[in-house]
Chain A
Amino acid sequence: MGLEVRIGDRIAEVKLVRRDENIAVFEVDGVEYEVDIAQVENGVFSIIHNGKSFNIEIIPGDGPKNYYVNTFYNSHEVEIIDAQSRYQRSRKALDDHAADKIISTPMPGRVVKIPVSEGETVSKGTTVIVISAMKMESEYKSPVDGIVKKIFVAEGDNINANQPLVEIE
């Protein structure tokens, strides 16, 4: 079964060429790897390739096709792409595009500062609101060049997670 696998920004074509017990041959973007692959504990694979040992931790992500994968040096987000996830990805990209212009935070906190006012022109990267949460102050920047259309909160306000704060047009 050949599939596309996304790892970071890279999309690789993968297939299992053949398998005999724990010895398997995979092809990744045209390169063949003959490996000894063993699931050694829940979520951990040991792969030996030409005598080189790789300990790979795989952690289930948000869906059955999403993983977090840890190698010794790096942590990757990995997604198995099939027709369904390809469709969902294109939908999500459209939604993200629209949602980006309303700034909100993932956690509750307090508005420390709003250095812009309604009607002001801002460029991409301009700090539009400063939020204090988890004992830290974070600056939220405009994702686009635009105009501050609406400010929904005032300095000193307590805010909830995902509450609209500033809208950029």
Chain B
Amino acid sequence: MIKKVLIANRGEIAVRVIRSCREMGILSVAVYSDADRRALHVRYADEAYHIGPSPSRESYLNGDKIIEVALKAGADAIHPGYGFLSENADFARKCAEAGITFIGPDPQAINQMGDKITARQTMIAAGVPVVPGTQQKVSDMETVRKIVDEIGLPVIIKASAGGGGKGMRLVRKPEELISAVKMAQSEALSAFGDDTVYMEKYVESPHHIEFQILADRHGNTVHLFERECSIQRRHQKVVEETPSPFLTPELRDEMGKAAVAAAKAVNYVGAGTIEFLVDANHNFYFLEMNTRLQVEHPITERVTGIDLVKEQIRIASGLPISFKQDEIAQHGHAIECRILAEDPFNNFMPSPGLIRHISEPNGLGVRTDGYAYEGYEIPIYYDPMISKLITWGRDRTEAINRMKRALFEYKITGVKTSIRFLERIMDNHDFRMGNYNTHFIPEHLDELMDIQPRGSKIFEDMAIIAAYFDFITKMEKVAMSDFTVTHSDNWKTYGLKRSLLPY
């Protein structure tokens, strides 16, 4: 059994992994960059080691340095979290060579799923439905035209090495085809150093629905149902929920089986996620596999009661999964909102900076996975996520109403956050009806941006009274101190008071 885990990550996910380690009696080792000396994961872990300057390339992406620290600290395993080195096959291989357990799949499975063309071919061979399109890279324009004749427009052109929407082009008209392929190739070359592109039928009004899977080294592969992730902005997930309001029990069952088949096809071991596109007619297609823990994993944990990090550690220790497929079910409904340091009403501009005050929501069915605290400065070097807010309810309506309540309770001052934008989503009629797909945010943007004053005017007047009362109380104190004899340096006293005096 693993005894000491180094967490090769930062922020909320590092804290979240350490929590499970604590419960399992496993020692935790944090690593940090210059910018993260004061970060919560450093304070929360049993041990902490500095690994380099603030830019992630010189710290959290420096695999050799991290392995060196793991050896020095005597850690027998490394948990990569998500992002950074989590889907880096080379790093997984180096861990194995150093005699350290990488808590994740084998390097060969990462590679097979990391390259989209290879992944597609593997899925077709395993009988998992994929979006109609090419299996090989497209280069000559003759082939391009032939494929489009077969599958029909619209098509989407994607970079094989890509991700996050880079090198992607949507083609609706035949005359746009050739230039779109050329542009996608040049974008792919500059972004990923590889101009390989492939082509797929574009699925109109799709849902983005993913299945959580777990697989051990004893031949067990199970799924933990779906997560509906269609509320996205520029391919970034904003709100996730489970169960999906769009799936039927039959479709859920069918997709769960396909997800298990997909994982088995690459001899997958560990926790992973199979992403599907589902069209309006309930046809589903394999999109990609994420060979790591996902940001949105807590909603699955909430409805199934399974701690996914603990399962990851058990599996990496060579133990079997702690439950069987027929022993788990979805209890109630869970929603996650990502709380980001950004200004939704100013073009979603990132808003790093000092947290002056934070009060987190609490109570039945509320979980926050965060890492920020009062006086903490959100660094400019990493992603803007402050925390994830997860609520649970017996049914979807209760989960949504609880999320609204929790968002109201959540107060973060000093940086701009996405909280009010998320409140607008929870209030949206189509969202509440469960009637949405990946176009939800662009289609409802005006409505989501329309911030009405809430609460009656009396709340505003009370805010004015509190600020005014605080100010005059402060003034009184300054005035009082003028009559007391001070023994301290008069200049210093004057300087201190000057900053408080109105004139």
Chain A residues proximal to chain B, CB less than 8 Å: 1, 3, 5, 7, 10, 12, 14, 16, 24, 26, 28, 31, 33, 35, 37, 39, 43, 45, 47, 49, 52, 54, 56-60, 64-65, 67-76, 78, 80, 82-84, 106-108, 133-139, 141, 161
Contact = CB atoms under 8 A, between A and B. Distances in A.
Given A65-B502, A134-B350, A33 B411 contact: no
Given A57-B357, A68-B356, A72-B455, A138 B467 contact: no
Contacts of A35: 462, 465
Contacts of B347: 138-139, 141
Contacts of A26: 465, 468-469
A84 B502 contact: yes
Contacts of A60: 356
26 contacts: A1-B472, A3-B468, A7-B460, A14-B468, A28-B461, A28-B465, A31-B461, A35-B462, A35-B465, A45-B469, A47-B466, A52-B458, A58-B467, A59-B356, A64-B471, A67-B467, A74-B453, A75-B411, A78-B464, A80-B467, A80-B468, A84-B502, A108-B380, A134-B381, A138-B349, A138-B350
A33 B503 CA distance: 29
Nearest to B501: A64
A45 B475 CA distance: 17
Given A59-B357, A134-B382, A138-B348, A78 B453 contact: no
B350 A65 contact: no
Nearest to A31: B461
B464 to A, nearest CB: 5
Interface in B395-410: 408
B500 A64 contact: yes
Size bin of chain B's contact surface: 35 or more
Interface string B326-343: 000000000000000110
Nearest to A60: B356
Contact of B462 (A3, A54, A59, A84): A54
Contact of B466 (A3, A10, A56, A106): A56
Contacts of B467: 5, 58, 67, 69, 78, 80
A87 to B, nearest CB: 11
Contacts of A43: 357
Given A57-B411, A80-B468, A133-B380, A71 B503 contact: no
Nearest to A140: B347
Interface of B: 234, 236, 341-342, 347-352, 356-357, 359, 380-384, 408, 411, 413-414, 453-455, 458-472, 474-475, 499-500, 502-503
A35 to B, nearest CB: 7
Nearest to B460: A7
A84 B500 CA distance: 12
B2 to A, nearest CB: 30
B384 A10 contact: no
A82 B466 contact: no
A54 B469 contact: no
Contacts of A28: 461, 464-465
A136 B462 contact: no
A82 B503 contact: yes
Given A64-B471, A64-B499, 17 more contacts: A5-B464, A5-B468, A7-B463, A26-B468, A33-B461, A33-B462, A35-B462, A47-B465, A58-B470, A59-B413, A71-B463, A73-B459, A80-B471, A134-B380, A134-B384, A136-B348, A136-B350
